[in-house]
């Protein structure tokens, strides 16, 4: 007679399988291709490279001159870039860049986060939820945009896109597109699928909506803890050049951790950037999946 497995062991095995499935998805073993930021930059069209170099030259001229040259200023220079997503004079081909991203807001914590980012002269990418966030906090969405951060899509209600019908998945994304455009006049060009779960069908839908998909390489698992010191430690332990940091501005412990994270990243020589800055001179292509 076969040996029976205890309920506790079955639960443990189920949890392990779930974790393994997610790890496989995030490791690129799922049925989709992944492009790293460095590869995107290396494959940028010659015209985009030339435009980037011209922009950098103009920005450097403005810094070295009298400032009348209205070239693009970016978050590192204390201003807002004229380039999409704040690409500006951040050059991640040369600088040791890391992208800072926040999921699932805006929330009551977002104004304090924006104050911190403004003080530190850093721009981030905000992957926003629609229901009870974008629709309830249009003032925060406007401020995110006005202060030069990157507007991005995290679906309307955080449904797992690979688990629902294609028509429903499209609605999950398009509703956020419409809501953000109505508030800011701008339409997000980046999206992050909940739990990082995507496939060929989600990629097709994203392409149709003009959205590139952005995963991550650094997570503090701040949904598990409000310990700001632990959140800081986890981020710093995982961060490497061209990384994409995933945090949530909906949890109490996350925003208080941000000043320490930024201070130490700068101490280590990192330039903190938006996702579009990280990819520049390439532009994120709709339907593509980007992850370090």
Known catalytic residues are 103, 248
Q: What is the 3-state secondary structure (H, E, C) of the chain?
A: CCCCCCHHHHHHHHHHHHHHHHHHHHCCCCCCCEECHHHHHHCCCHHHHHHHHHHHHHHHHHHHCCCCCCCCCCHHHCCCCCCHHHCCCCCCCCCCEEEEEEECCCCCCHHHHHHHHHHHCCCCEEEECHHHHHCCCHHHHHHHHHCCCEEEECCCCCCCHHHCCHHHHHHHHHHHHHHHHHHHCCCCCEECCHHHCCCHHHHHHHHHCCCEEECCCEECCCCCCCCHHHHHHHHHHHCCCCEEEEEECCCCCCHHHHHHHHHHHHHCCCEEECHHHHHCCCCCCCCCEECC
């Amino acid at each position: 007679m076969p040996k029976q497995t205890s309920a506790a062991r079955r639960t443990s095995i189920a949890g392990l399988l779930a974790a393994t499935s997610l790890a496989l998805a995030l490791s690129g073993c799922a049925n989709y291709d992944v492009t790293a930021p460095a590869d995107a930059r290396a494959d940028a069209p010659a015209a985009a490279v030339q435009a980037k170099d011209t922009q950098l030259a103009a920005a450097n001229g403005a810094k070295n001159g009298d400032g009348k040259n209205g070239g693009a200023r970016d978050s590192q220079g204390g201003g807002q870039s004229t380039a999409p997503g704040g690409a500006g004079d951040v050059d991640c081909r040369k600088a040791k860049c890391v992208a800072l991203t926040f999921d699932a807001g805006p929330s009551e914590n977002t104004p304090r986060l924006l104050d911190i980012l403004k003080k530190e002269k850093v721009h981030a990418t905000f992957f926003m939820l629609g229901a009870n966030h974008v629709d309830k906090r249009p003032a925060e969405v406007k401020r995110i945009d006005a202060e030069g951060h990157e507007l991005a899509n995290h679906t309307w209600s955080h449904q797992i896109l690979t688990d629902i019908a294609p028509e429903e998945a499209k609605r999950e994304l398009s509703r956020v597109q419409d809501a953000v455009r109505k508030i800011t006049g701008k339409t997000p060009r980046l999206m992050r699928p909940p739990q990082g779960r995507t496939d060929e069908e989600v990629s097709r839908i994203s392409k149709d909506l003009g959205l590139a998909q952005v995963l991550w390489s650094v997570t503090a698992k701040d949904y598990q803890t409000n310990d700001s010191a632990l959140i800081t430690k986890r981020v710093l332990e995982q961060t490497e050049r061209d990384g994409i940091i995933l945090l949530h501005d909906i949890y109490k412990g996350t925003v208080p951790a941000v000043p320490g994270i930024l201070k130490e990243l700068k101490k280590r020589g990192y330039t903190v950037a938006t996702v579009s800055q990280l990819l520049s001179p390439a532009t994120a292509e709709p339907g593509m999946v980007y992850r370090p």
